């Protein structure tokens, strides 16, 4: 069984346990820990001779929320996606050129509604960094690229369902914006890459399901 399948199976089992718990009656916890799995939609950015895109694939990670008061929380999260970087070069066509990891480290806040109810909608906004990790070369003619880190922001929303006081289910969706410098290289290495950017931002989205453990 692959790591992704293990994550899915574990989350499904934990969600089943949460669903069989007794209804919540009050809230006294200060921290919420949520491991999750999801599906991320890859973005695309124009380069001078075509475009670069990231293939859609599963993602996984963890969210840590610190309760400040009735309606607000501090939030820290890590999200990872293992996928492929695809180069759509004019006159050549589209081809995967590198295995790639996309990593988001984010810090910010969350506003929640009905914090003591069983069903608790929320929305969040965070700032942080995106690390694009370049892996194995998949095409012998691929340009030379290197791993890079960029500033990013994430906007999200969803619902937490607490059938018990300490265990809940977190369903969420997010919009990710990674800020790339206009006119700069896209993961360019010392040997050059010839794929200078013509745009500013790289947009991605996802949906997630996770198990929330309140402490």
Per-residue pLDDT of 100-140, as tens digits, reads 999 999 999 999 998 889 999 999 999 999 999 999 999 98
Q: Which residues pair with 208 in a beta bridge?
A: 38, 172
Q: How far apart are CA 149 and CA 189, in angstroms?
A: 13
- How far are the Cα atoms of 45, 83, 92, 175 from residue 57, in angstroms, in the given order? 18, 6, 25, 15
C-beta of residue 179 within 8 angstroms of C-beta of residue 37: no
The per-residue pLDDT for 186 is 52
Q: Which ranges of the chain have pLDDT less than 70?
A: 1-28, 181-200
pLDDT value of residue 21? 40
Q: Is the pTM of this model over 0.75?
A: yes
Give the Cα separation of 140 and 134 in Å (integer). Answer: 15
Residue 17 is predicted with a pLDDT of 45
Domain 3-214 has CATH 2.40.160.20: yes
> Looking at 68-140, which runs of residues are DSSP E strands?
72-89, 93-112, 119-137
Domain ranges of the chain: 3-214
Of residues 158, 198, 212, the one with CA closest to residue 44: 198
- Looking at residue 190, its pLDDT comes to 41
Give the pLDDT confidence score for residue 191 in this predicted structure: 45
* Contact indicator for 118, 166 with CB cutoff of 8 Å: no
Total count of residues recorded for the chain: 215
């Amino acid at each position: 069984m692959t790591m992704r399948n293990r994550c899915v199976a574990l989350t499904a089992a934990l969600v089943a346990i949460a669903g069989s718990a007794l209804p919540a009656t009050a809230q006294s916890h200060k921290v919420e820990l949520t491991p999750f799995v999801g599906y991320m939609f890859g973005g695309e950015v124009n380069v001078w001779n075509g475009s670069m895109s990231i293939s859609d694939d599963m993602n996984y990670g963890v969210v840590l929320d610190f309760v400040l008061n009735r309606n607000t929380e501090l939030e820290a999260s890590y999200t990872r996606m293992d996928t492929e970087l695809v180069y759509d070069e004019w006159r050549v066509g589209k081809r995967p050129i590198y295995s790639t990891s996309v990593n988001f480290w984010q810090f910010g806040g969350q506003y929640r509604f009905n914090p003591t109810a069983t069903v608790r909608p929320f929305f969040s906004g965070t700032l942080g960094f995106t690390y694009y990790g370049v892996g194995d070369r998949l095409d012998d003619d691929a340009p030379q690229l290197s791993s890079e880190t960029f500033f990013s922001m994430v906007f999200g929303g969803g619902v937490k369902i607490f059938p018990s006081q300490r265990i809940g289910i977190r369903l969420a969706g997010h919009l990710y914006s990674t800020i790339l410098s206009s006119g700069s290289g896209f993961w360019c290495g010392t040997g050059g890459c010839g794929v200078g950017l013509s745009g500013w931002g790289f947009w991605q989205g996802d949906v997630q399901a996770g198990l929330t453990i309140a402490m």
